[in-house]
Amino acid sequence: MATQWLIGFLNFWHRGEVRTVRIRILPWHVFLGLYTYALAIATAETGLLEKLTFLQTKRNVAKHSTESMVVNSLGLVLALLSGFVILAAVSPKYWNDEDVILPSKHLQISIRTFGAHREVEVKLSTSHT
């Protein structure tokens, strides 16, 4: 948490490098976000399994009871929903082409995404406006 605040503070004071840094760390940002999300889903699934296992071990709940079916259904729905969320996050259909303007008025970087392939185009404008 402190690292996030420190990086945010430094980016506020060094605005020139912000766009280039954002471009460089975007893949890592997406990876770490999805990794954290997947760990949270795995923790939730493990908690459901652990609770149901303990209830069944102590003979409080039968293996095919209504409560067992509800917990199993909840686990399946959670797994499917998380799969759709991850698919939506990595799907190129939802990514936009973006033009990044750097501090120099004459340098423009265009990033286009085609599936798993990214095309980066650098243009140097010689017009003086």
DSSP tag of 128: -
Distance CA 23, CA 101 (A): 11
Instruction: For residue 111, give the H/E element and its range.
Output: strand 107-114
- Tens-place pLDDT, residues 105-126: 555 556 666 556 666 666 666 6
Residues in the chain with pLDDT < 70? 1, 15-19, 92-129
Task: Supply the pLDDT for residue 116.
Answer: 60
User: What six digits make up the tokens of 78?
Assistant: 């959670």
Task: Supply the pLDDT for residue 43.
Answer: 96
Antiparallel, parallel or unpaired: β 107-114 and 98-101: antiparallel
Q: Is 45 within 8 Å of 78 (Cβ atoms)?
A: yes
Task: Supply the pLDDT for residue 45.
Answer: 93
Distance CA 38, CA 44 (A): 10
Task: Supply the pLDDT for residue 100.
Answer: 42
User: What six digits make up the tokens of 127?
Assistant: 């017009």
Task: Supply the pLDDT for residue 74.
Answer: 93
Q: Is 70 within 8 Å of 48 (Cβ atoms)?
A: no
Distance CA 117, CA 62 (A): 51
The answer for residues whose C-beta is within 8 angstroms of residue 108's C-beta and 6 or more apart is 99, 100, 101, 102, 122, 123, 125
Single pTM value for the model: 0.60
Task: Supply the pLDDT for residue 62.
Answer: 79
Instruction: For residue 50, give the H/E element and its range.
Output: helix 15-57
